[in-house]
Structure 1
Amino acid sequence: MTHIYLNHILGLDTPSYANSGKMEILRTRSISKGDSSNEAELSFTNHMGTHIDAPYHFGSEGKALDEYPANFWVCESPYIIEYNAAPAERLGLETLLPFLKNIPDPTDVLILKTDFEKYRKDNLEYYCFQNPAIEPEVGIWLRKNKNLKFFGFDYISLSSRSHRAMGRESHQAFLCAKVNDIEIKGDSILLIEDMKLSELKQPVTKLIISPLLFEKADGAPVTVIAEV
């Protein structure tokens, strides 16, 4: 049994959606400078790096991360779909349904490995602005037909700046009770964005998801530990 991280470590070079935020690390105390301890202050938006979106992110009546019980964050039946997505590709049911139909019924977390992570260091223009985008009907179908708690993937956001108008609806389709005032059947599926999947070479038998919890958290950086 081996455990690996499926999250990126936060750092000064952490990218953000549409390059709209920066990570700051201020070393406020340093032993090398005569202080009794090392200490730092962090400044960043709560949707930077590998992070999780809660229903409250796109719906004022939705649950925040701190409202879920501890056992919610343990997943016993992960399932991985591999599909090499092109920059700015729209991923709808026409493309994904053949994969989605094969998801085993016990699955509680679905991971989409697109290989888009390769642009994270070498081409931020692609990674932050030209990432693939999931169409709303995918979330609606998953909520109606499967019993997932999470959907995670290896690019910056569920939505893309290339398809910005669709982004809000796509998030609502996974997270909220309604999309454009139309009620959606099934529980919310929380989103794990900007995952680190490049080192994932074998099936995952268990997933532990540990978000940074704060009051009324609409989203937060998350540590993801996979048992492989």
Structure 2
Amino acid sequence: MEPVDLSRRIEPGMPVYPGDPGVSAEASATMASDGYRVTHLSFTTHVGTHIDAPAHMEPEGATLDEYEIAAFRFDARLVDFTDGTTDRDRDQGRGLDTREAIEPRMLPDDAPDADMLVFRTGWGDHWGDERYFDHPYLTPEAARHVADLDCAVGLDTINPDPTPTERAEDDEPEGTPAHHELLGAGAFIVENLDLSGDLPERFTLRAYPLRVDGDGAPVRAVAE
């Protein structure tokens, strides 16, 4: 297959986690005044398509700089909730609803030769509007199941946990238990993937972060 870019463009006005500062891009030098262009970019380590390192949530968790570059190449398996191809107890092709919980019974029982499960919920279609924050999420048990498979997670949502909004439901988990189950097991999380294109069930995902010793960083996520 030809490489497929799964990354969101980093630009002012893009969706960011509620409460996080937005993206700014200001000219530090211009062609008119300086004869060249330089842009001052400002954003957090968890903007756009990005990877969470264990240090994001775990007090003793590893930062990105503690990993070799090969750690950011994943043998990925697509778990597609939009086309009815997964083995789940639901109507064929129904897809997921607003703020719906993804439970262990909806996930593969094993992941041979895979070290990442990529969840296509269809919520990437809402990128850029308020509904994007009312996405499906992993229950703590589902996240533990993925961690037990020794897999990382990729998602087309902003969060594997419920994102707080005024539309949150009373039975949703509080805090960030899915993050803790995954990051506590040393499993990376790649969020805000653009999964709108055609992807096979199995592919290689390259998600190389900026070289910073941080709790996370934007990535250029490419499927091959």
Q: Please report the TM-score for the alignment, with normalisation by the length of structure 2.
A: 0.84
- In 1, the alpha carbon distance for the partners of 2:123 and 2:175 equals 18
- In 2, the alpha carbon distance for the partners of 1:9 and 1:155 equals 15
- In 2, the alpha carbon distance for the partners of 1:110 and 1:43 equals 31
8 A Cα contact 2:139 2:173, kept in partner: no
Poorly superposed stretches of 4+, deviation over 4 Å: none
Structure 1: which 5+ residue stretches go unaligned? 177-186
8 A Cα contact 2:78 2:200, kept in partner: no
- In 1, the alpha carbon distance for the partners of 2:175 and 2:137 equals 8
8 A Cα contact 2:100 2:135, kept in partner: yes
Alignment pair present for 1:147 and 2:150? yes
Deviates more, 1:14-23 or 1:60-69: 14-23
Which residue number corresponds to residue 179 of structure 1?
none
Q: Which has the higher helix share?
A: 1
Which residue number corresponds to residue 3 of structure 2?
3
- In 1, the alpha carbon distance for the partners of 2:49 and 2:123 equals 14
- In 1, the alpha carbon distance for the partners of 2:68 and 2:199 equals 31
User: How far is the alpha carbon of 1:213 from its aligned partner?
Assistant: 2.4
Q: How many residues align?
A: 205
SS at match of 2:131: helix
User: How far is the alpha carbon of 1:21 from its aligned partner?
Assistant: 2.6
Q: Deviations over 1:159-189 (max 9, x none)?
A: 221267534211101111xxxxxxxxxx421
Which residue number corresponds to residue 64 of structure 1?
63
Which residue number corresponds to residue 182 of structure 1?
none
SS at match of 1:62: coil
What letter corresponds to residue 179 of structure 2 in structure 1? H
- In 1, the alpha carbon distance for the partners of 2:175 and 2:101 equals 11
What letter corresponds to residue 10 of structure 2 in structure 1? L
SS at match of 1:72: helix
* Structural mapping, 1:91-110, within 5 Å: 91-94=102-105, 96=106, 99-101=107-109, 103-110=110-117
8 A Cα contact 2:100 2:136, kept in partner: yes
Alignment pair present for 1:88 and 2:99? yes
8 A Cα contact 1:8 1:49, kept in partner: yes
Which residue number corresponds to residue 27 of structure 1?
27
Which residue number corresponds to residue 174 of structure 2?
166
What letter corresponds to residue 223 of structure 2 in structure 1? A
- In 2, the alpha carbon distance for the partners of 1:67 and 1:60 equals 15
What letter corresponds to residue 67 of structure 1 in structure 2? E
* Structural mapping, 1:114-133, within 5 Å: 114-121=121-128, 124-128=129-133, 130-133=134-137
Q: Deviations over 1:27-65 (max 9, x none)?
A: 11122x142321111111111111111111111111111
